[in-house]
Amino acid sequence: MSQQDFVPLYVRIQRYLLDEIAAGRLSEGDRTPSEPELASKFATTRATVAKAFQQLVYEGVIVRRAGSGTFVARPAMSAPIDLSRVRSFEEQLADRGAIIDYEVVAFDSHMPTPLEIEALHLRKAETVFRLDRLRVVSGERMSLERRVIPGELGRRMTPIMIRTKSIHRILDEDFGLPVLRVEGSIRAGVAKGAIADQLAVKRGAPVLIRDYVLLSADRRPLVRGESFYREDFHIDYVVQQELRDR
Amino acid sequence: MSQQDFVPLYVRIQRYLLDEIAAGRLSEGDRTPSEPELASKFATTRATVAKAFQQLVYEGVIVRRAGSGTFVARPAMSAPIDLSRVRSFEEQLADRGAIIDYEVVAFDSHMPTPLEIEALHLRKAETVFRLDRLRVVSGERMSLERRVIPGELGRRMTPIMIRTKSIHRILDEDFGLPVLRVEGSIRAGVAKGAIADQLAVKRGAPVLIRDYVLLSADRRPLVRGESFYREDFHIDYVVQQELRDR
DNA sequence: CATGATTTGTCCGTATGTATG
DNA sequence: GCATACATACGGACAAATCAT
């Protein structure tokens, strides 16, 4: 409380724009007010408006074209894999103002398959939990995630946790087990049966499938997951060579 | 190519800093010159230096602390495998003993689309080359790659190069332009028309689609690509968090 | 096709506030 | 307290890209 809750003007301008988008008054492809218009509206200068815009460009919210204007970018149907940090894509989307809901499809326990024993380094007799959730971003079904969780951890998950938080956050905040490493694999496949139904796509529609294991600091596998993404979803990534040494 | 060699001052400042880091004169944790110092060095104002810094902050190259200074951030990612290093898929496969051949489907020039101008930062009148190749791994058609190459580079590519080498290797070995950064996006789609034929899969079969831009050391876009992979192909990745201080 | 209005891109110079050591 | 460094903001200027007329 020692600090005043001062909000920089350029942040207030960003919030104004994000609100306009969230409220639907600005949609994909629409032109935003110009720099002079916003400068006048907020009683400031173009430089400040430009700064507000610049960050939103970096976050992929808007695109700008000289001589033309500033436009709302396509909706955030993407999950950046920022290889410099292990963050769940929920966090990354939340940074951009998206609203994420979960719809729990199944949460129960069973005996692990040999594949699951291998992936999670389980003892044979240890039961595991299965958690199937639909991830809904800003009202749209985006993906179906299937998780296999060791009994030890699964027993401690409450209904509230699994309805509201990403697995990353549950592991970190509730269990004190931050995810330090993700090993995964991405491939294409077709939606069939239950998966097609739950994603609300036609059977035979293409889906992006991501298999992964979340690992803790000591390289212990924490959770195995399989996520199915609709065709209109994409995963963004950046790979960069180290500049140092050499 | 003479008229428009203008490089914004803030970009030149960024390149200066990136060079200092690449050359090892600045390492992880080192303090960079301050805003006034750089402003003086480049005969500009603090505002311009601040803008140069701001983008590097967003890209994770530096961190800034008010009252303290600007510091070189920890190396972005330490992922030991796969995507964390900038290698082409060819190299990764070759490591495992696979034999890679290319079958050139098309190599011609055309005027760039607006999308290509945007992605490659082209001038409008500059023609670009299109290179379509099938990647054949151990006798099996694995993927179709479509590349868009600025005329300047495309004109220097010989038939032998494009029949035998990955784009990464051509850029590095033949043009002295190593790829230091890849920005891409992965999604699922269906094979249709020419793509299905060339991949030798049924129309409607799922394919993995990867869009990307290869960038050089100074962040200039070199090549834009779109690759289509058959259903049985998968992309492995590892993301790992650095353990360091905080 | 030319031209002017609009819009963003870049840059200058100045000023004040806040955090750090 | 003090100097240094970054954070935010003001106001003005010209250039380049775009688009409607």
- SS3 assignment, position A136: strand
- Residue B127 is predicted with a pLDDT of 82
Whether residues A106 and A41 share a domain: the answer is no
Question: Confidence band (pLDDT; 50, 70, 90) for A173?
Answer: confident
In degrees, rounded to 5, the angle at the alpha carbon of residue A136 between the alpha carbons of residues A73 and A203 is 95
- Residue B212 is predicted with a pLDDT of 87
Residue A242 lies in a domain: no
Q: How many domains does chain B have?
A: 2
DSSP states along A172-190 = IIITS----EEEEEEEEEE
Give residue A184's domain range. 77-234
Q: Which of A49, A72, A95 is the last residue of a domain?
A: A72
Whether residues B45 and B164 share a domain: the answer is no
Q: Which amino acid is at A167?
A: I
Alpha-carbon distance of B25 to B47, in angstroms, equals 25
In this predicted structure, the answer to whether residue B80 has a pLDDT above a threshold of 50 is no
Q: Which of A72, A102, A120 is the last residue of a domain?
A: A72
State which residue of chain A sits closest to B187, comparing Cα positions: A234
Whether residues B101 and B205 share a domain: the answer is yes
- Residue A142 is predicted with a pLDDT of 84
- Residue A243 is predicted with a pLDDT of 45
pLDDT tens-digit readout, B93-124: 555 556 678 899 999 988 877 777 777 877 66
Whether residues B196 and B171 share a domain: the answer is yes
As a rounded value in angstroms, the CA-to-C1' distance for B89 and C13 is 51
- Residue A48 is predicted with a pLDDT of 92
pLDDT tens-digit readout, B20-30: 887 888 887 88
CATH number of residue A68's parent domain: 1.10.10.10
Which candidate in A91, A95, A212, A237 is best for mutational testing of the B interface (most B CBs within 10 A)?
A237
- Cβ of B65 less than 7 A from strand D: yes
Phi, psi angle pair for B232, to nearest 5°: -85, 5
Say if residues A126 and A47 touch (Cβ distance below 8 Å).
no
Please state whether beta strands A128-137 and A100-110 pair in parallel, antiparallel, or not at all (unpaired): antiparallel
- Cβ of A67 less than 7 A from strand D: yes
Whether residues B226 and B144 share a domain: the answer is yes
